[in-house]
Structure 1
Amino acid sequence: MTADYLQQVTLGAIEQQPTIQLVAADPTWPAQFAVEQRKIKQALGATALRIEHVGSTSIADLSAKPIIDILLLVPDAADEAVYVPQLTKAGYILRIREPDWHHHRMFRGTTRPLHIHVFSEGCSEAQQMLHFRDWLRHDTADRQWYRATKAELAAKEWPTMQAYADAKGPVVTAIKAHATTYFDHYNG
């Protein structure tokens, strides 16, 4: 993601992140997610079609940045009027608006470090996020590869957290391909 693009899609200042702090897996992460899941469901009701714990904190023995990643599926992520005011009132802050990339929206938490990634129901990127999570829960070799990649990259300095995420891109893409092959075969 280029710096210009990041500036275009970010609401407010881009947060500088010269170092990435990875911590050992925390057994309270699922409970932290569950608290936020209930809060989101209460705020959105039936508009929240699916709320999933994703990212490294959703994988039991994987080190991670201590930020809970949440996948939220709504009927139409482009229709902000049906979820942005409610999530804002519940204490979340809209930080990213990517209308040209799956209508992705990203909120940050105000009471704990978290990211809510909003996509439309049926979005292929959302399904890939779930496959990635489920594959890393299942496959030890790819989980170890991802762990080593994250540790190597976290030891470097980055201008933004997005730059760190982008650097993981080739490994994430390869693991997503493994996951897609597995789940396509398993479900086919």
Structure 2
Amino acid sequence: MGIDEIISVIPYDEKWIALFQNEKINLLKAFGDDAIDIQHFGSTSVHGMFAKPIIDVLIGVKTLELSNSVTNKLTQLGYEGFGETGVKGRLYFRKRQEHAYNLAVVIWNGEQWVNNLLIRNYLRENPHVAKQYCERKLDAIKKGYTTLLSYSDEKADYVSKLLDQAKKSIG
């Protein structure tokens, strides 16, 4: 399967937190000591946000050179690896089964780690900004950006500005 896929955006679902917690247990077993921290990020981690019904999981590691043991365990869990896929410093894996998951494996406390958590925390602390972001997402879908790559491209500038706002908010 290629990286692009049809996507949809739905209202916040309370079960997203439990889905993350359950998958985190599986991922901790797969990564073992290689995972320094595992965080729920993306829109499904922000209460009240509209989101693609895909749980985004951020895994902080010391090195992006994953052992065969880890990659084999991810395959056994149903994950497909896509490498960096245009995002330097991030390994992307996804699982599409009863529930959908995206993994971003990044250097713990590196730029990808820090930026993704900055945006998540900023949206959690600023519901009015989260609401604006929801409107932007729904607008993108209405305009016909219903594949992963077109949707991501359509909101890329907005997300970049969001990161700048988040950075300014912490001084």
TM-score normalized with structure 1 length? 0.82
Instruction: State the partner residue of 2:89.
Output: 103
How many residues align structurally? 170
Which residue in 2 is equivalent to 1:6? Answer: none
Q: CA separation in 2, counterparts of 1:172 and 1:67?
A: 18
- Residue deviations 1:32-52 (CA, integer Å, cap 9, x gap): 000100000011111111110
Equivalent AA in structure 2 for residue 43 of structure 1: A
Residue deviations 1:43-77, cap 9 Å, x none?
11111111100011001100111010000111111
Structure 2 residues not aligned, in runs of 5+ = none
Q: Name 2:79's counterpart in structure 1.
A: 92
Q: 1:88 to 1:125 in 2, by over 3 A?
A: same
Alpha-carbon distance in 1 for matches of 2:164, 2:128: 14
Q: What SS does structure 2 have at the residue aligned with 1:76?
A: coil
Question: What percentage of residue pairs aligned between the two structures are identical?
Answer: 26
Post-superposition offset of 1:121:
1.9
Offset from partner CA, 1:67-102 (integer Å, 9 cap, x none):
1000011111134546322222233221x2128743
Render the CA deviation track for 1:113-133: whole Å, top value 9, x for unaligned.
Answer: 110111122320221000000
Alpha-carbon RMSD across the aligned residues, in angstroms, is 1.9
Partner AA of 1:161 in structure 2 = L
Q: Look up the equivalent residue of 2:128 and give its one-letter code.
A: A
2:133 equivalent among 146, 153, 163: 146
CA contact (8 A) 2:122 2:166 kept: yes
In structure 1, the residue matched to 2:144 is 157
- Does 1:66 find its partner at 2:53? yes
Equivalent pair of 1:59/1:133 in contact (CA under 8 Å): yes
Q: Is the 8 A contact 1:78 1:99 kept in 2?
A: no
The residue aligned with 1:172 is: 159
